[in-house]
Chains A and B, each alone.
Chain A
């Protein structure tokens, strides 16, 4: 069964500092990996996704993530954090559901990012 671990529940960084959010996955085949961001009281917005090719993926809002198969990791990075980046970040692994269609996202428990001014 697929699973996702986000080892950091809370992270605090100063505005302008660099950021790295960790994500480790367990999946038997080639994973389809996603990072979503959730602002307070809002739904989830896709930041980026990986399914093949270049292991360094660029996303929206200046975020990037690197897929490392040997470490089963897909860490999210940003070189300079803005106060508006304060939110909860979810890593997820997706797989097609053969019966009945749809794809199934399994989310990690999230990392709450706080940005100090």
Chain B
């Protein structure tokens, strides 16, 4: 029944060591999103894919990249994690880009940077 799956649920990395978080979906949705949520804060959109088209938010640091090799999978790459990148990373999907479309969220990956 899982619709948006994120692996791993917890990830520990070292300062400056590249890390990849993964997301997969069984909904066949066109749009996939990545959010960063720091402790006691609102989720903040980093970027999204509409099909194969990548759309970066203006204030997303260059350190964050994403790949979507097919409809089902999307990856978040952090090239050189800093201590400030420790957060929960949430993946979400929506069928299309209409404002009323529900976004379906995965359980998140909690990233710890040592």
Contact = CB atoms under 8 A, between A and B. Distances in A.
B97 A43 contact: no
Interface stretch (B11-19, B45-53, B65-73, B79-87): B45-53
B31 interface: yes
Contact of B97 (A51, A102, A109): A102
Interface stretch (A11-19, A74-82, A89-97): A89-97
Interface residues of B, number: 34
A45 B98 CA distance: 19
Contact of B43 (A32, A97, A107): A107
Contacts of A94: 99-101
Interface of B: 4, 6, 30-31, 33, 40-43, 45, 48-51, 53-55, 90, 92, 94, 96-108, 110
A105 B100 CA distance: 10
A99 B43 CA distance: 22
Contacts of A45: 105
A41 B90 CA distance: 11
A70 interface: no
Contacts of A95: 99
